[in-house]
Chain A
Amino acid sequence: MPLARRPTGLWRDAWHRLTRNRAAVVSLVFVILLVFVALFANLVAPYAFERQDLESTDLGPSAGHLFGTDLLGRDELSRMVYGSRISLAVALVDVLIVVLIGVPLGLAAGFFGKWLDTLVMRTVDVLLAFPSLLLVIVVITYLRAVLDQPTGPVLAVIGGLDNLTGGLLGVFIALGLVSWLTVARLVRGQVLSLKEKEFVEAARMVGASNLRIMARHLLPNTLAPVIVAATFGIPGAIATEAGLSFLGLGVRPPLPSWGILIAEGVRNMRAFPHELLFPAVVLAVTLICFNFLGDGLRDALDPKLKVD
């Protein structure tokens, strides 16, 4: 278990350790680049993603189309650039859910104990009883089927949200049901072991409120595993979106996503290998970078790790 320390020293030390890890630094740079590309997609992409050209379909890489074209003559590079938005949006939602739902629930469950703890943990158990992908499929199928004919204002609003997110609302909700589970358990476990320690006793004796104890003392010490868990959750979320698009349950056409590109690429794999190669490689590199970043953060934030 990591020693309880006050925040300031931890972060500076962590940053030093992180920057000495070459793989993590490279990964961080790549992630930042990816965010940049996603944000400024319309500047980076050479073409509009929906621009069709039936004269130039299924072409291999060339000067005009660095990654080639797809079956409707759309530029693959542009589709990949815009597709990064979907992947990063999914990653962002995943992190938000972990941080905004998983952490508070874990903190509260561990700190207050008793009925709150039981309630939260049993809910976690119930939701964990589903393999996550299957739960996602059920939720998305239901949402898609119901939203296609909205009856009443509530569904109409949800339908509007769905359109706004390019049809990803179902994916977000499903992720929302699933991503926070392991983090909540993790945080709760940490809090359970930390709350008996002396510095918490000391804070209580000085008259600190529960909220203050949770926020100032417990939270910083649970952050390390949370950050790591969040970073590791991202590749899973992105891969889930890819798998769902492969099944036809992902974003609404004509929006591109890496999952859709890979799904189309797998179908055309033997005739036009470039259509699979580029999205698969980009996805792979992204997943690897997030993994190495998570590795690096874990190594950096764990003060007991030997670094030779």
Chain B
Amino acid sequence: MRKLAALSLLVLLTVAACTSPTSSATPSPSLAAKKTTLRLPEAAKIVNTMDPGISSGGAGLEEIQNMFEGLAYVDQVTGEIKPGQAEKWTISPDGITYTFNLRAGLKWSDGQALKASDFEYAWKRATDPATKSRYAQTLWPVKGAEAFGTGKGTAEGMGVKATDDRTLVVTLERPAPFFMHLVATWTAYPVRKDTIDKNAEKWTLTKDTYISNGHYRLVEWKPEQSMTVEKNPNYWGENNGPDTIVWTLFDDQAAKSPVAYEAGELDRAVLVGADITRAKADPVLSKEIKKFERQGSQWIILDTTNPPFNNVKVRQALSMATDAKRLNEVVLKDAYFNAVSIVAPGIPGQKTANALGYDVAKAKQLLSEAGYADGKNWPANVKFTFASGGAETKAIAEAIQGMWKSALGIDIVLEPMEDKAFDNWRTTRKDQPFHMYVSGWGSDYEDPNNWYNLLFDSKADFFYAHWKNPEFDSLVASGLKENDAAKRKTIYESADKILNAEAPYITYYHWARFDLIKPYIQGLNHYRVLGRVQGYLVRVNK
């Protein structure tokens, strides 16, 4: 190591004689003295398209959400749906027809008028199979959309129509109480027909062709390197945020963004693992830590029809032998929130008291009641499957393997799979047996429907746990139809009780965002559902 340092120093001195260091580290254009810039990290890998109609979310979404605005948007502090491009909307009594009234004088970033027909065009385009959208199913609740999207219908048959320049009428297949959340997603953002017609898929690449309608507009996109946006002078509302936002794209945000942050190149960094310990111990960094809630759970999913997991006592035993608190606080350095239940907190119906908790003595007892006292008769080759791409998952798998061995005396075999192969394997589990695998879920919107009905109902069985409980099914079915909020909550709480008791899933943490944020930045917040940084809310006091 010293030799390497010596050599490095030698070369350094040689090179220093030939080059002069520049102090500029950001790829942004030259800034006038008083202008403010916000510098954020982003993951390089997935920003594969900036087209709102095609994007599947993930990395790139933050940029899209800063440059575009839909009919409505989700408030990043309260989570409420607020009017965006539409100043109001009315829903027919039968819940099928939505009428949106756009604001007056809406403009695109190049100054041209924005009309309701732009929304109609965008929605139809996103649903059109030829567009190759990766998130096409978002708008399928609209009448005729699924038929059109699967090649059985036409664009004309889709229930979205601009009746005049400022009115958009949407007809649904059936009532959907969560539809406004879908309206706020990026797939429903308007896009400009003329630039797409002229430039085809290249319309997102340059500032002259990437015409948007949000708080910011594109300045420059260097693929896999950086993206720069500036305030959109044609946005209808106020924008007191920074004049420019620059995203630096990293292949491994968790590894590289703290380094860039500490070198003064970023205003925000993503922290994971050992960096969290280091930040907490550092006198400067410890004051810049911010931990945000994200409404999601990470689980081990058990095949409830495959021995030994077809016995509920075995599932409960394993759940109670998993020290989630230790796992999060010690192994993961408190990067997340300790697991308290299967469904994430904040969803009506979730009740921490329903959870099984951590109790090794009880776990041992349950396991021996199931016939596997101290690991006797435990089947060989019980597999714990996970995607090998993430370093954390490996540590978690090893830790849990160790916990179960020392608490219950059972052996499991770790089965890491190459990422894509894992995705493939997972989709085939629908009618294939397995033992257990790791996955998670984050809310699309804050409603019990997005968890209990979508994931755990035996007809949906999103994660193929093959779990069927008739009482649970009927409870959530009635919860879906219930309009009274209080009654609904009670129904789902009963369902939650059954879910936790049956333990088809073992939660080991709830999602979080762990950031370092410079002290001169104010207002940087991520809402716990699909939250991204909204630039216009941020103040850069430098």
Check A-B contact in the complex, CB < 8 A: yes
A268 touches B402 (CB 8 A): no
0/1 per residue, B423-463, Cβ < 8 Å to A? 01100100000000000000000000000000000000000
B274 touches A267 (CB 8 A): yes
- Which residues of A have CB within 8 Å of B428? 149
Select A248's contact among B274, B388, B398, B402, beta carbons within 8 Å: B388
A253 touches B420 (CB 8 A): no
- Which residues of A have CB within 8 Å of B323? 54
Q: A248-B388, A252-B414, A252-B416 are in contact. Are A148 and B275 (CB under 8 A)?
A: no
A253 touches B414 (CB 8 A): yes
The size class of the interface chain B forms with chain A is 20 to 34
Q: A54-B326, A54-B331, A280-B1 are in contact. Are A271 and B416 (CB under 8 A)?
A: no
Taking CB atoms and an 8 Å cut-off, the chain A residues in 43-83 that contact chain B are 50, 52, 54, 57-58, 71-72
B402 touches A50 (CB 8 A): yes
Stretch at the interface among B196-204, B312-320, B389-397: B389-397
A57 touches B331 (CB 8 A): yes
Question: Interface centre among B273, B395, B398, B420, by most A CB within 10 Å?
Answer: B398
A253 touches B331 (CB 8 A): no
Distance to closest chain A CB from B252 (angstroms): 9
Q: Counting CB contacts under 8 A, is B415 at the interface? A: yes
> Can you name the residue of chain B whose Cβ is closest to the Cβ of A53?
B402
Question: Interface centre among A52, A146, A253, by most B CB within 10 Å?
Answer: A253
Distance to closest chain B CB from A83 (angstroms): 15
How far apart are the CA atoms of A264 and B425 in the complex, in Å?
27
The size class of the interface chain A forms with chain B is 20 to 34
- Which residues of A have CB within 8 Å of B255? 267
- Which residues of B have CB within 8 Å of A58? 274, 277
How far apart are the CA atoms of A252 and B255 in the complex, in Å?
23
0/1 per residue, B389-413, Cβ < 8 Å to A? 1010011011101100010000000
B326 touches A254 (CB 8 A): no
Select B1's contact among A72, A148, A281, beta carbons within 8 Å: A281
B391 touches A71 (CB 8 A): no
B331 touches A71 (CB 8 A): yes
Q: Counting CB contacts under 8 A, is B278 at the interface? A: yes
0/1 per residue, A149-161, Cβ < 8 Å to B? 1000000000000
> Can you name the residue of chain B whose Cβ is closest to the Cβ of A73?
B330
How far apart are the CA atoms of A234 and B326 in the complex, in Å?
41
- Which residues of A have CB within 8 Å of B402? 50, 52, 72
- The A interface is mostly helix, strand or loop, or mixed, namely loop
- Which residues of B have CB within 8 Å of A149? 421, 425, 428
> Can you name the residue of chain B whose Cβ is closest to the Cβ of A144?
B418
- Which residues of B have CB within 8 Å of A148? 415, 417-418, 421-422, 425
- Which residues of A have CB within 8 Å of B277? 58, 271-272
- Which residues of B have CB within 8 Å of A304? none
A72 touches B331 (CB 8 A): yes
Taking CB atoms and an 8 Å cut-off, the chain A residues in 241-263 that contact chain B are 248-249, 252-254, 263
- Which residues of B have CB within 8 Å of A281? 1
A268 touches B273 (CB 8 A): yes
0/1 per residue, B94-110, Cβ < 8 Å to A? 00000000000000000
Distance to closest chain A CB from B285 (angstroms): 11
> Can you name the residue of chain B whose Cβ is closest to the Cβ of A56?
B330
Select A72's contact among B273, B274, B399, B418, beta carbons within 8 Å: B399
B418 touches A270 (CB 8 A): no
- Which residues of B have CB within 8 Å of A72? 331, 395, 398-399, 402
A145 touches B421 (CB 8 A): yes
B1 touches A277 (CB 8 A): yes
- Which residues of B have CB within 8 Å of A270? 274-275, 278
How far apart are the CA atoms of A272 and B333 in the complex, in Å?
13
Q: A72-B395, A268-B274 are in contact. Are A54 and B418 (CB under 8 A)?
A: no
Distance to closest chain A CB from B371 (angstroms): 26
- Which residues of A have CB within 8 Å of B1? 277, 280-281, 284
How far apart are the CA atoms of A109 and B323 in the complex, in Å?
62
- Which residues of B have CB within 8 Å of A71? 273-274, 331, 395
A264 touches B414 (CB 8 A): no
- Which residues of B have CB within 8 Å of A252? 414, 416
Q: A148-B421, A248-B388 are in contact. Are A57 and B330 (CB under 8 A)?
A: yes
Q: Counting CB contacts under 8 A, is A141 at the interface? A: yes
Distance to closest chain A CB from B403 (angstroms): 8
A248 touches B420 (CB 8 A): no
Distance to closest chain B CB from A52 (angstroms): 4
How far apart are the CA atoms of A89 and B323 in the complex, in Å?
36
- Which residues of A have CB within 8 Å of B401? 254
Distance to closest chain B CB from A215 (angstroms): 44
How far apart are the CA atoms of A246 and B206 in the complex, in Å?
36
How far apart are the CA atoms of A280 and B2 in the complex, in Å?
12
0/1 per residue, B1-18, Cβ < 8 Å to A? 100000000000000000
Select B416's contact among A141, A253, A263, beta carbons within 8 Å: A253
Distance to closest chain B CB from A270 (angstroms): 6
Distance to closest chain B CB from A115 (angstroms): 39
0/1 per residue, B262-277, Cβ < 8 Å to A? 0000000000011101
Taking CB atoms and an 8 Å cut-off, the chain A residues in 30-53 that contact chain B are 50, 52
Among all A-B residue pairs, the 7 with the closest Cβ atoms: A145-B421, A271-B274, A268-B274, A271-B278, A52-B402, A144-B418, A148-B417
- A residues contacting B by CB (< 8 A) are 50, 52, 54, 57-58, 71-72, 141, 144-146, 148-149, 248-249, 252-254, 263-264, 267-268, 270-272, 277, 280-281, 284
A145-B421, A253-B414, A280-B1 given; 11 more Cβ-contact pairs under 8 Å: A52-B406, A57-B330, A71-B273, A72-B398, A72-B399, A141-B418, A145-B418, A148-B422, A252-B416, A267-B391, A270-B274
Q: List 26 A-B contacts (CB under 8 A).
A: A50-B398, A52-B398, A52-B406, A54-B326, A54-B330, A58-B274, A58-B277, A71-B395, A72-B331, A145-B417, A145-B420, A145-B424, A148-B417, A148-B422, A149-B428, A249-B418, A252-B416, A253-B394, A253-B398, A253-B416, A254-B401, A263-B391, A267-B274, A268-B273, A271-B278, A281-B1
- B residues contacting A by CB (< 8 A) are 1, 255, 273-275, 277-278, 323, 326, 330-331, 388-389, 391, 394-395, 397-399, 401-402, 406, 414-418, 420-422, 424-425, 428
